[in-house]
């Protein structure tokens, strides 16, 4: 039985005609996850509850919702009621949430089945998922390589074809960069599109939840299910409901696309620039124009990100104090000792470094020198994007500067994990939507992604371009290389 390799329509029809039941899909997903255990994509599996949920769906009409009865993996920084949620950290390794994140409620309303919680960088801080307290996930294309991060587990389970759907989160590229490294489709929606209620905050002005899938159409379907205004999130946008699949496979002729010169500079390897050039040519041959443009501030994005993300993180992570939930040291001498020891033992190295620097950046006069100035330049950067979108429909570039590197590469350079995301961070700064689409392979057949950036709330246009390229390029994106047997 290999239903999870079929198209979503085929699976849906099989459910509708009662050829299969949701429980068959759940069992198949767990067989695959078991077989791929060494990839370390999951921190917690939800087997018993998933089977129970699948059983309960048998009583329900299948209807027209293509997502009905389908298994989904959820990143472990999104809270799930009664299902352990660790943020890949020792400080939360016993944490059982007492409520569901809004996105989780939406998955429930769509009759999707949560199969487990995926591995990630601790508190989403990192770019290779190697800061996880539970060890790093492995790239299904080559198990010696990273899957990227921080949504590395979600990327891994999609690339390994365990399930069709996963949720990731993206603060500075954490959906798009691992999607690029693993040859899958990952979308960071516009800031405000998806409620952050129940997402354990890292940098509140940057964080956004988004879909990670094997193809563009399924990505848009999952986005349809998770968006919407939420009274519980003050930064949630009140937008009319729309169908994100509506422009898929529509003609792209006449589309105006910008390619910033910085994205094609020598910070990007030649093999990746070549693949982007090829994609550019395909677009031009089909009636789109692609102009190389200059944009200010792109090279400053990492610095802004370091200040804003570390600053906001230091404040957000102050809640982990060993008092209300999570790990707590035994027999502290006094309250200070409780904080200091709990946080020393509970947090990993990367997280501690970022909290310390962030606390310093926000302390006293430093808040003006660093944080306020970063917010001013961030505003200018957004205006720079606005100028480009006055003339262009979309912006493209590579998602990453290299393909996935080795799991054993050194981790002692504290700046490295920020530089891995140099091309994707500007999008978080400006709150824009961005998607990574597989467009080819580098040496040793490691996937390469194209980054497609849209104006605020224009996700549908991104899917239009992405679906067109996906169809034209028609790549074999199955990482299992002939080993298709479950």
Q: Using CB under 8 A, pick the residue from 213, 306, 403, 436 that binds other proteins.
A: 306
CB of 418 to other proteins, least distance (A): 7
**DSSP SS3 for 79:** coil
- Does 382 interact with other proteins (rule: CB under 8 A)? yes
Q: Which of residues 425-444 bind other proteins (CB under 8 A)?
A: 430-432
Cα gap 442→459, rounded to integer Å: 28
Q: Which of 128, 174, 195, 236 is catalytic?
A: 174
Record the tokens describing residue 299, joined without a space: 């090279």
Q: Using CB under 8 A, pick the residue from 376, 406, 408, 484 that binds other proteins.
A: 376
Cα gap 298→426, rounded to integer Å: 6
- Does 328 interact with other proteins (rule: CB under 8 A)? yes
Q: Using CB under 8 A, pick the residue from 6, 9, 60, 96 that binds other proteins.
A: 96
Cis peptide before 150 (omega within 30 of 0): yes
Task: Please state the φ and ψ torsions of residue 367, each to the nearest 5 degrees.
Answer: -55, -40
User: Are 139 and 182 within 8 A, CB to CB?
Assistant: yes
- Does 380 interact with other proteins (rule: CB under 8 A)? yes
CB of 178 to other proteins, least distance (A): 22
Compute how many residues bind other proteins; rule: CB under 8 A: 73
CB of 267 to other proteins, least distance (A): 15
- Does 318 interact with other proteins (rule: CB under 8 A)? yes
265 catalytic per annotation: no
- Does 263 interact with other proteins (rule: CB under 8 A)? no
Q: Which of residues 226-245 bind other proteins (CB under 8 A)?
A: 231, 234-235, 237-238
User: Are 79 and 99 within 8 A, CB to CB?
Assistant: yes
Q: Which of 75, 106, 138, 188 is catalytic?
A: 75
Cα gap 114→74, rounded to integer Å: 7
Closest CA to 230 of 212, 258, 209: 209
User: For other proteins, which is the closer residue by CB, 205 or 269?
Assistant: 205
User: For other proteins, which is the closer residue by CB, 98 or 390?
Assistant: 98
Closest CA to 79 of 102, 106, 97, 105: 97
CB of 172 to other proteins, least distance (A): 14
CB of 277 to other proteins, least distance (A): 30
Q: Using CB under 8 A, pick the residue from 58, 61, 414, 445 that binds other proteins.
A: 414
Q: Which of residues 332-351 bind other proteins (CB under 8 A)?
A: 332-341, 343-344, 347
User: For other proteins, which is the closer residue by CB, 362 or 475?
Assistant: 362
Q: Using CB under 8 A, pick the residue from 197, 217, 370, 468 that binds other proteins.
A: 370
**DSSP SS3 for 212:** strand
- Does 372 interact with other proteins (rule: CB under 8 A)? yes
How many Cα neighbours within 13 Å face the side chain of 385? 23
Q: Helices 102-109 and 216-226 sit at what angle, rounded to 10 degrees?
A: 110
127 catalytic per annotation: no
- Does 78 interact with other proteins (rule: CB under 8 A)? no
How far are the Cα atoms of 4, 8, 161 from residue 20, in angstroms, in the given order? 12, 13, 19
Helix, strand, coil percent content, the chain, rounded in steps of 5: 40, 15, 45
- Does 7 interact with other proteins (rule: CB under 8 A)? no
User: Are 101 and 83 within 8 A, CB to CB?
Assistant: no
User: For other proteins, which is the closer residue by CB, 66 or 87?
Assistant: 87
How far are the Cα atoms of 33, 34, 57, 182, 353 from residue 23, in angstroms, in the given order? 15, 16, 9, 28, 44
CB of 308 to other proteins, least distance (A): 10
Q: Which of residues 36-55 bind other proteins (CB under 8 A)?
A: none
Q: Which of residues 190-229 bind other proteins (CB under 8 A)?
A: 190-192, 204-205
User: Are 321 and 342 within 8 A, CB to CB?
Assistant: yes
- Does 399 interact with other proteins (rule: CB under 8 A)? no
User: For other proteins, which is the closer residue by CB, 284 or 413?
Assistant: 413
Instruction: Single out the segment in contact with other proteins by CB under 8 A; choices: 33-41, 296-304, 390-398, 438-446.
Output: 296-304
Cα gap 203→321, rounded to integer Å: 18
User: For other proteins, which is the closer residue by CB, 272 or 427?
Assistant: 427
Instruction: Single out the segment in contact with other proteins by CB under 8 A; choices: 105-113, 146-154, 255-263, 358-366.
Output: 358-366
User: For other proteins, which is the closer residue by CB, 64 or 330?
Assistant: 330
Q: Which of residues 97-156 bind other proteins (CB under 8 A)?
A: 98-99
Taking residue 383's Cβ as centre, other Cβ atoms within 10 Å add up to: 12
How far are the Cα atoms of 116, 147, 196 from residue 438, in angstroms, in the given order? 25, 14, 27
Taking residue 389's Cβ as centre, other Cβ atoms within 10 Å add up to: 18
Instruction: Single out the segment in contact with other proteins by CB under 8 A; choices: 56-64, 139-147, 391-399, 411-419.
Output: 411-419
Cα gap 476→179, rounded to integer Å: 15
Residue corresponding to tokens 């054993």: 408
6 catalytic per annotation: no
Q: Using CB under 8 A, pick the residue from 379, 386, 391, 409 that binds other proteins.
A: 379
- Does 410 interact with other proteins (rule: CB under 8 A)? no
User: Are 484 and 471 within 8 A, CB to CB?
Assistant: no
Catalytic residues: 75, 150, 174
């Amino acid at each position: 039985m290999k239903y999870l390799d079929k198209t979503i329509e085929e699976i849906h029809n099989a459910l509708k005609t009662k050829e299969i039941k949701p429980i068959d899909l759940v069992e198949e997903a767990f067989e695959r996850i078991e077989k791929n255990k060494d990839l370390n994509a999951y921190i917690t599996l939800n087997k018993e509850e998933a089977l129970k949920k699948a059983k309960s769906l048998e009583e329900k009409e299948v209807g027209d919702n293509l997502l009905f009865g389908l298994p989904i993996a959820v990143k472990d920084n999104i809270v799930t009621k009664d299902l352990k949620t660790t943020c890949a950290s020792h400080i939360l390794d016993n944490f059982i949430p007492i409520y569901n994140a809004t996105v989780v409620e939406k998955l429930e309303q769509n009759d999707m089945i949560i199969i487990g919680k995926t591995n990630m960088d601790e508190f989403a801080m990192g770019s290779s998922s190697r800061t996880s307290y539970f060890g790093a996930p492995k790239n299904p294309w080559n198990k010696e390589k990273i899957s990227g991060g921080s949504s590395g587990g979600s990327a891994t389970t999609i690339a390994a074809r365990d399930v069709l759907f996963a949720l990731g989160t993206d603060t500075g590229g954490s959906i798009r960069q691992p999607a690029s490294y693993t040859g899958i489709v990952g979308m960071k929606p516009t800031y405000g599109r998806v409620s952050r209620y129940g997402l354990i905050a890292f940098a509140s002005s940057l964080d956004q939840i988004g879909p990670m899938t094997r193809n563009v159409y399924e990505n848009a379907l999952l986005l349809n299910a998770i968006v919407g205004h939420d009274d519980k999130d003050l930064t949630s946008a009140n937008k009319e409901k729309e169908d994100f699949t509506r422009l898929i496979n529509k003609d792209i002729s006449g589309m105006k696309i910008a390619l910033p010169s910085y994205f094609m500079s020598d910070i990007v390897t030649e093999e990746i620039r070549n693949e982007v050039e090829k994609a550019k040519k395909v677009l031009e041959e089909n009636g789109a124009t692609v102009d190389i443009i200059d944009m200010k501030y792109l090279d400053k994005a990492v610095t802004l990100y370091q200040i804003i993300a570390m600053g906001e993180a230091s404040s957000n992570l102050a809640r982990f104090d060993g008092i209300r939930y999570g790990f707590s040291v035994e027999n502290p001498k006094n309250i200070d000792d409780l904080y200091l020891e709990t946080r020393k033992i509970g947090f990993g190295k990367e997280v501690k470094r970022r909290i310390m620097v962030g606390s310093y950046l926000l302390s006293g006069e430093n808040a003006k020198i660093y944080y306020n100035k970063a917010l001013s330049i961030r505003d200018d950067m957004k205006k720079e994007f606005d100028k480009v979108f006055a003339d262009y429909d979309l912006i493209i570039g590579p998602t990453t500067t290299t393909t996935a590197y080795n799991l054993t590469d050194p981790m002692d350079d504290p700046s490295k994990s920020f530089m891995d995301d140099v091309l994707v961070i500007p999008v978080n700064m400006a709150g824009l939507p961005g998607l990574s689409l597989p467009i080819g392979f580098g040496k040793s057949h490691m996937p390469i992604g194209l980054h497609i950036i849209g104006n605020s709330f224009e996700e549908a246009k991104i899917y239009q371009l992405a679906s067109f390229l996906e169809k034209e390029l028609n790549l074999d994106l199955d990482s299992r290389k002939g080993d298709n047997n479950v």
